[in-house]
Each structure stands twice: as C-alpha cells, then as structure tokens.
Chain A
Amino acid sequence: MATYSTSEFKSGLKIILDGDPYAIVENEFVKPGKGQAFNRVKVRNLKTGRVVERTFKSGDSVEAADIMEVQMQYLYNDGEFWYFMDQDTFEQIGADTNAVGDSSKWLKEQDVCQVMLWNGTPLSVTPPNFVTMAITETDPGLKGDTSGGGTKPATLETGAVVRVPLFVQSGEIIKVDTRTGDYVSRAKE
C-alpha cells in the first residue's frame, strides 16, 4: 500500500480517507512553538466534489489514492453508461451518471475528454475546454442584426442550453466554452 507522509502534502495530492478518494485543496502547517505539530488540510471528495477539513499529526502517513487522469475518446451513451476509448490501446470503459454528472451535456461523440480513473474506474469526466455543436432549436433572430447586444437561449444537439447572440440561427454550428457555458463564436464544422 503506497502512502504519503504529511511532509509530502501539497495541493493536488490524491489520498484515501474513510475509503473514499480525495484531493488535497489546501495544506496548512500548524504548530505551537512548544508542542505537537499538525497538518490542517482542506480536501475535496473526488466522488462527490464536497470539500471538508481534516487534521493530521505531522509526520503521520495516509494511504495514497491510485488516481490516473487519461485522455479518452467519447464513443456513445447506452442510456446507462457513457463509453470512452483509450485511443492507444482501444480499450473501452463505461462511466456512470455519478462520474459524468453535469459534463454529460458537453459530451459529443468522438471528442477527446479527460477521464479521471480511480483503480481503473472512472471518477469524473472533463470535456474539452471548447466544443463545437449544432443548434437544434432557437427563436428566429432579427435579420441583419450582426452587431449583437441582445442574446437568446439556444438548445444544442446534446440538450445543453446556452445564450447566443440574436443573429445566430437554428442549424448553425457554434463554439462553446464548456468551463463557463458561454458562447464563443460561430464555427465551421
């Protein structure tokens, strides 16, 4: 069992606490001049995203989490699992709703995503920063309005809804920033 000593603690380090994988968000060294030293850490549960505080006696060790972040191509969704493929080994794995979460609305077939694996099982999926998608539905905008100003909601092929300028029409391809959910520009397929 691999372990990390508190002296190796830094933000981003992946550890196991109570059987769950966590990432260290913040690490503070607390020590009375004469007395026991502690590491007070904020950790994020990699399953739930919840951030909690923990304290360790300095010098103690905690179990390391076997976490890998790999680039995988999104293939399809069968109603229960989203399937991803390692483009080197062609190995396929399915990620469930817990792992995919809100990212599902940005998953377009053949896009390469970052998949976080814990002991080989997907924990979370991060879509590419920018995706291009077709608009399936939006109100007709004002003709000739290319300068913008106003925006309107548009539904994309994955079901995601983003705000787009009035001149963008149904059927067009647009580029979206998945980190903010903001429209970036029109795009050519």
Chain B
Amino acid sequence: MPTIDEHAERRSHWAPVAALETLRLRARLLTVVRAFFEARGIMEVDTPALSGAGVTDLHLTSFETRFSGPGSCRSRRLYLQTSPEYPMKRLLAAGSGCIYQIAKVFRNGELGRLHNPEFTLLEWYRLDFDHHRLMDEVAELVAVLLQDFQVLAVPERVSYAEIFQRYLGLDPHRVGIAELASCGKGQGLQIPPGMPTDDPAPWLDLLLSHCIAPRLGQERLTFIFDYPVSQAALARVRPESPPVAERFELYLNGIELANGFHELSDSAEQRRRFQRDQQARLAQGLPKISWDKHLLAALTAGLPDCAGVALGFDRLLMMAAGKSALQEVMAFPLEQA
C-alpha cells in the first residue's frame, strides 16, 4: 500500500510547465543576449538579490526576509530586489563603465497572464547615452532576438503627450481629473471605485493600460518617451514647458516589454523623491520602507551621465515562442514553484 505521502507525490505536478523546446529557446536567447553585449564591450555583472534597503515606489511591494547568523545578534531585515537598479548604479559610480545584468527579481502581489512574482529582468546601463540613443540599442537587441520569429516593421517612437493626443485627444501634462474620468467613460471604461480626486497619475495609468497600451506595438516596436513629471520614477526631468521626465517604455503586441530612463544623477533630487514616496506611502497606509542610503551616497560620489533600461526577458521569450502567457515559458511558475 502506498503511503499518504506517496499518494501526494503522485498527484503533484512535478514536471515543468514550459515545454523543453521552450526552455531550449530560453537558453539560446540568453546566449544571444550575452553575445550582443560582449560584442559591444559591455561587462556582465552580478549584484545581490538580497538587499538591506527596499524600494519606496508606491506600486512595488518587496518580499521581506530575515538573516540570522554570525554578526547579527538580532536578526537583520532584508528585501529581495524588485530590480537590480540601485546596486548597478553603485557600480557605475565606482567607475565600472557600461554594464548589464540578467537578474532574477521579485515583486510581491503580482500574478497573472503577464506577471509572475519572480521573473528575469535584463537590465543595462550605457554611459553618455540619453534615452533616445538607448531606445536605438533596445530596438537593435529586440530585433536580433525576434528575427527568427516575428517580422517587424520599422520601430515607431511617439511621445507620451502625442500618444494620449492620438488615441484619446487629451493633453496628459495639463489635463484635470474630471476630464480624465469623462474620457475613460467615453471609452466604455467603468471607473474603478476609490480613484483619487487630487492625483492624476493613477488616472493616466488607468487610461494608458486599458485604452491605449492594447493598441500599441502592432507588428512593430512602439517606444513611448518623455513622461509627465508625476511618472518620472528615476528619470531626470528636462525643464521645458511643461517639464518632462526623460523616461521611455517599449510596447510590442500591446504588451509592455521595457522601461528605461536617462538616469537621474542628482543626489538631492533623488532624496526628495524618496521623501515624497515615503509621505505618499504614509498617506495611503502602506508600510514605511527605509530607502537605500548606499544609492544616495553613490549619487553624491558621482553617477556618470548614463541611460539605463530594464527589459522583461520572460515576456520577450513569450513572444519569440509564440505563447500568450508568461507561465508557458517558465519551467516552474509560482503555482509549481
């Protein structure tokens, strides 16, 4: 008679979710990525997934864990990285030159057809590039990775203002909440309960993700650039009228693939953004997160002028493999992890 444990073992879905053929494609594309950067003299780096500091970003939730062992009389709180951005910037400040990393990153609460709480991010930084030069390079890499799988037209590059104007007839830099709401309703959207009445940022996210993004990147790469200042994240702000954040996102087949910045290098401004995040977290009842003092110190020491981008490798693989869910290209997604 099999024991209860043996029964459970037999019922368990131990086999990988992704087909072995897809896993071979994953390996092959990783090789292509490494060759691409090798040919450009960009160094691969490896920074820790565990960090003493978390992210203050309102819309990211870090996994927390604790270290107990030598040197920690009380156990020490650690966070799993949501991206390798901060330690990579410390390397840049230390004079590493251009660098890239293929990193496992972790985001709590994110699960769906296009989300798994653990995924692979390809992140790289280029000295003396602005966001436009980096968009050129992102387009080159994606073209190489997808050349055997999808025929793509010439990439298009549209500013955030232009994309809102084109699809919704709105000026995202000046529009008010009432107009955003009526535009959403006009698009057949049921406005979610509890949307803020003073902050346009979640409204812009709502309209972009529901009404615009699904129409972007049809048979071609679509880059959106120059974001409203409220969406600057870690991008530097160009003082125009209206001022814009030198940030970009890449869409293909209606799916967001990458996010990049002409990187903010002003330590004082970075500190202000951390503080602003922290106040907003407090106002929304989110836990206070201690920000990364090492990052601020590195920026003070001097971050070279650079642009950086993070590309969702699993999503790109999903497109190369012709799949429609992230889980189909992962050996063991969350449910089977």
Interface residues of A, Cβ cutoff 8 Å to B? 7, 28-38, 40, 52-60
Out of A34, A52, A54, name the residue touching B59 (CB < 8 Å). A34
Measured between alpha carbons, how far is A58 from B259 in the docked complex, in Å?
Answer: 21
Contact status A56-B233, CB under 8 Å = no
- Asked if residues B192 and A57 are in contact (CB atoms below 8 Å), the reply is yes
In the complex, A54→B189 CA distance in Å?
Answer: 8
A56 — which chain B residues lie within 8 A by C-beta?
Answer: 192-193
Stretch at the interface among B131-139, B164-172, B194-202: B194-202
Closest chain A residue to B257, Cβ basis: A33
Residues of A within 8 Å of B194, CB to CB, are: 57, 60
With A29-B112, A56-B193, A57-B202 given, can you name 7 additional A-B contacts, CB distance below 8 Å? A28-B112, A29-B110, A34-B231, A35-B59, A35-B205, A35-B208, A58-B109
Q: How far is the CA of A40 from the CA of B206 in the complex (A)?
A: 11
* B231 surroundings in chain A (CB, below 8 A): 34-35
Range, interface on chain B: 20 to 34
CB-based nearest A residue for B195? A57
Chain B residues contacting A7 (CB-CB under 8 Å) are: 109
Most buried by A among B113, B191, B193, B201: B193
Q: Can you list 8 A-B contacts with CB-CB less than 8 angstroms, sorted by A residue number?
A: A28-B112, A31-B110, A32-B59, A33-B256, A35-B201, A37-B110, A58-B109, A59-B109
Q: How far is the CA of A36 from the CA of B116 in the complex (A)?
A: 17
Q: Is B57 an interface residue (CB 8 A)?
A: yes
Taken together as a complex, chains A and B put the C-alpha atoms of A56 and B210 apart, in Å, by 12
Shortest distance between the CB of A39 and any CB in chain B (Å):
9
Tell me, in angstroms, the Cα distance from A38 to B109 when the chains sit together.
Answer: 11
The answer for the CA separation of A53 and B188 in the assembled complex, in Å, is: 9
Interface residues in B315-337 (C-beta closer than 8 Å to A): none
Given contacts A37-B59, A56-B192, contact A32 B110 (CB under 8 A): no
- Cα distance A34–B261 in the bound complex, in angstroms: 12
Q: Check A36 against B201 for contact (C-beta < 8 Å).
A: yes
Chain B min CB distance to A19 (Å): 14
A45 to chain B, nearest CB (A): 13
- Please measure, in the bound complex, the distance between the C-alpha atom of A58 and the C-alpha atom of B205, giving whole angstroms: 13
Q: B residues within 8 Å of A by Cβ?
A: 57, 59, 109-115, 189-195, 201-202, 205-206, 208-210, 213, 231, 233, 249, 256, 259, 310, 312
Cross-chain contact B259 with A55 (CB below 8 angstroms): no
Q: Which residues of B are found within 8 Å of A38, using beta-carbon distances?
A: 192, 205-206, 209-210
- Tell me whether B192 and A32 are in contact (CB under 8 A): no
Name the residue in A36, A54, A57, A58 with the highest tally of chain B Cβ atoms < 10 Å from its Cβ.
A36
| Contact across chains for A34 and B109 when beta carbons are under 8 A apart | no
Complex Cα gap A40–B194 (Å): 15
Bound Cα distance from A36 to B231, whole angstroms: 11
- Assembly CA distance A31 to B107 (angstroms): 12
Q: How far is the CB of A129 from chain B (nearest CB, A)?
A: 27
Chain B proximity of A172: nearest CB distance (Å): 46
User: Which B residues lie within 8 Å of A52 (CB)?
Assistant: 190
In the bound complex, residues from chain B placing their C-beta under 8 Å from that of A40 are 210
| A31-B59 contact, Cβ under 8 Å, with A36-B206, A57-B195 | yes
Nearest-neighbour CB distance to chain A for B253, whole angstroms, equals 15
Per the bound structure, the CA–CA distance linking A52 and B190 in Å amounts to 10
**Complex contact B205–A33 (CB within 8 A):** no
Shortest CB–CB separation between residue A182 and chain B, in angstroms?
Answer: 34
Give the residue name and chain of the A residue nearest to B204 (CB): A35
Q: Report how far A108 CA is from B312 CA in the complex, Å.
A: 58
B322 to chain A, nearest CB (A): 20
With A32-B256, A34-B259, A60-B192 as contacts: A55 and B110 at CB distance below 8 Å: no
Which B residue's beta carbon lies closest to that of A56? Answer: B192
* Cα–Cα distance between A54 and B193 once the two chains are bound (Å): 10
Question: A181 to chain B: closest CB distance in Å?
Answer: 34
**Residues from chain A with Cβ under 8 Å of B205 in the complex:** 32, 35-36, 38
Q: How far does the alpha carbon of A7 sit from the alpha carbon of B112 in the complex, in Å? A: 11
Partner of A31, one of B57, B115, B201: B115
Q: In this complex, what residue of B is CB-closest to A7?
A: B109
Question: Which of chain B's residues has its CB closest to A35's CB?
Answer: B205
